[in-house]
Chain A
Amino acid sequence: MSQEKYFVMETFNNPSVSPLDFASSPINRALTAEQKIEYYRQMSRIRRFEQGSLKQYNMGKMGGFLHLYIGQESIAVGCASLMGEHDHMITAYRCHAHALAVGMNMNECMAELFGKTTGCSKGKGGSMHFFAPDKNFWGGHGIVAGQTPLGLGLGYGLKYNGQKGSALCFMGDGAVNQGAFHESLNIAGLFNIPVVYIIENNGYSMGTSQKRSSAYKDCLAQRADGYDIDWDLVNGEDFYELRAKVNIAMERAHEQSRPTVLEIQTYRYYGHSVADANHKKYRSPEEIEDYKKNHDPINLWKQRLISEGILTEESAKEIDRSAKQETDASVVFADESPAPTIEDVTDDVYWESDNNTEASKIGRHFFND
């Protein structure tokens, strides 16, 4: 393992050691003040959106699960900030942030949570299943690691089409123990697929800590060695580091059509989902407070921008206020939107039926009365 990787592992959770400064890497040096502030704005929007959705969930406005990303915002925003025309994104069920980061709007996302026809999936997907193919965002998938072969396929498709791109396939630390992920890694390495597997390691697969769920030597990403795939560890609370290292992986995909596994260390403040009532039992309240106080990625980015002289506390507050207003407006939009009708249930099952093709008129496709 490189010295740098060891260094990152040692500095994570250890504020007394100052991290390597990735601000000077070319991909970060190229950033304008406006771009940096925009990333702050996006992170704030994601947090406000999710805080708003939690409030609405508790008011009974939506059903099902709500897996909050709060505490992890730097990852989705940092990765989306690097995407070009042929870079694609796919993730698991903790997907609200990725959706907003690629440019989906709060209205369609909140309306989807509310199960309304104006939702991004017309109320047919819900919290775990947001999609925006026009923004290269392919979901939103509910089964742990089920999306990892799909991410491989996006990379395969790019390569097949001769496009210089990458597929960013996100997953939680619990997903590394699923067979589908390992099958995907083998094929990615074997076929030289331009996919970047990004393990968002928040330390817990639902209520089971990493130590209780995974066998590993130094870290989870190291498993990529067995497939001859490059890998790296990333401190998710350092926005510059995150961008620099994800960019290296994406360039490896673009230039060499080779996969990468990145393990980004992060933390979630809430439970696995809102229904996770035990999340203060399998970890201490002090641990959660420490992350909020000392490791919050949005606050750290804000402080960084203040120290660079491009953001003030007042302007940050204004950005936050505006994110909250946008969230509030999305709640009104979702509330006022119509619910699906029973006739809508059988739409969007078959492409041929939806498009009323000749093929769709032959034989019985649905078996209702």
Chain B
Amino acid sequence: MREIEYRDALNEAFDEELARDENVVIMGEEVAQYNGAYKVTKGLWEKWGDKRVVDTPISEAGFIGMGIGASMLGIRPVMELMFWSFHSVAFDQLVNNAACVRYMSGGLINVPIVMRGPANGGTNVGATHCHTPEGLFAAFPGLKVCSPATPSDAKGLMKAAIRDNDPVYVMENTLLYGNKGHVPDPSEGDHVVPLGKADIKREGSDISLIAHGRSVLHCLEAAETLQSEHGINAEVVDLRSIRPLDQEAIIKSVKKTNRAVLVDESKPFCGVSAQITTLIQEHAFDYLDAPIKRVCTIDAPAIYSKHIEDEQLPNARRIIEKVLTIA
């Protein structure tokens, strides 16, 4: 079984999509000659050349707006934000031009772009580089948002995002880039993971741990301890996609286990987990044996100190403690 790193899985997705569609262009700061700040685009410029893999100046509003404009003429830019945290200097382009132009034109225009890059805490870089805006962007109708946790999902979701005819914002994670996992060999066929489809990463019967991105890995770790030390059999639901959202998988799992802890690296106030909480209470209220609980990043800007940042973020210990309050 082939195992490759998360970053290489993404790289493989780009390479395959560059080959499949001549309108796909990789753009961003340092993505070409430098091989990407996190080496996600390594080797692509050398293989595909200046036209298909483009280094841009540090001008997020300028180059993202440019990509949106080009997409209106049928180009399919896949644009890297070196950190998703840098979205703030391009916010107008991301939420007005990308998300609203289709609507304001009465459906005459579509914007087939992919915005991608890492969105995570845990690397001691301070509050400006740690934003996790998946809930923020999912709040804009017109946008789609996904957050892969594994190499296989990273490749499959990226390919789906590139082929989608709407703007898709893919939130990766610098702490996952080096993780290895099984990714089907290209010779086995086109590996595409559709947007809007959750994945049960661990079957369980006692409680549903619902998460996305790196939090899924914390849930899996917590589930093992819960099983071995507390006899609690937790199910881990990996959302993978935030919008569209696999509500059916969430509700099905909660109806089975009757308990839910939502794990979300974004902040608690109006985060992704807040939205899921309301969906569960609306659609599975009678199945709940306990209140829905959440493990989010502690509600403050990201702390720098390496001694404490991991405790501000969701982690296995915090998840276990939360689970034990209701199970």
**Which residues of A are in contact with B by a Cβ distance under 8 Å?**
88, 90, 119-126, 129, 131-133, 138-143, 146-158, 160-161, 167, 179-180, 183-184, 186-187, 190, 347-352, 354-355, 357-359, 362-367
Contact = CB atoms under 8 A, between A and B. Distances in A.
Interface in B298-321: none
B102 A348 contact: yes
Nearest to A347: B107
Given A153-B72, A179-B61, A186-B57, A131 B108 contact: yes
A352 B75 contact: no
A117 B75 CA distance: 30
Q: Which 7 A-B residue pairs are closest in the complex by CB-CB distance?
A: A153-B69, A363-B196, A149-B65, A183-B62, A363-B244, A157-B73, A348-B107
30 contacts: A90-B69, A121-B108, A122-B107, A126-B104, A140-B104, A147-B97, A148-B65, A149-B61, A149-B93, A150-B65, A150-B72, A152-B62, A153-B66, A153-B70, A157-B69, A158-B73, A160-B73, A161-B75, A183-B63, A187-B56, A190-B57, A349-B142, A354-B107, A355-B165, A359-B194, A363-B195, A363-B241, A363-B243, A363-B244, A367-B275
Interface string B48-82: 00010000110101111111111111110000000
Given A160-B25, A160-B75, A125 B62 contact: no
A363 B197 contact: yes
Contact of B68 (A124, A149, A351, A359): A149
B251 to A, nearest CB: 11
Nearest to A120: B106
A184 B197 contact: no
B101 A139 contact: yes
B34 interface: no
Given A126-B104, A150-B68, 19 more contacts: A88-B73, A124-B105, A131-B105, A131-B108, A133-B109, A146-B65, A146-B93, A149-B61, A153-B65, A157-B70, A157-B73, A160-B75, A161-B73, A187-B57, A190-B57, A359-B196, A363-B246, A364-B246, A366-B141
Interface string B155-188: 0000010001110000000000000000000000
Contact of B65 (A126, A167, A184, A367): A184
B104 A121 contact: yes
Contacts of A355: 165
Contacts, number: 189
A152 B66 contact: yes
A124 B104 contact: yes
A161 B105 CA distance: 24
User: Which bucket holds chain B's interface residue count?
Assistant: 35 or more
B54 to A, nearest CB: 8
Contacts of B102: 348-351
B196 A146 contact: no
B124 interface: no
A133 B197 CA distance: 33
B164 A359 contact: yes
Contacts of B71: 153, 157
B92 interface: yes
* Max chain B C-beta neighbours (<10 A), residue from A161, A348, A350, A366: A350
Contacts of A354: 107
Given A143-B92, A146-B96, A363-B247, A124 B106 contact: yes
Contacts of A366: 141
Nearest to B51: A160
B59 A187 contact: yes
B69 A154 contact: yes
B116 to A, nearest CB: 18
B297 interface: no
A184 to B, nearest CB: 5
A353 to B, nearest CB: 8
B68 A365 contact: no
Contacts of A146: 65, 92-93, 96-97
A138 B104 CA distance: 11
B75 to A, nearest CB: 5
B104 A154 contact: no
B69 A151 contact: yes
A129 B108 CA distance: 12
Nearest to A190: B57
B110 interface: yes
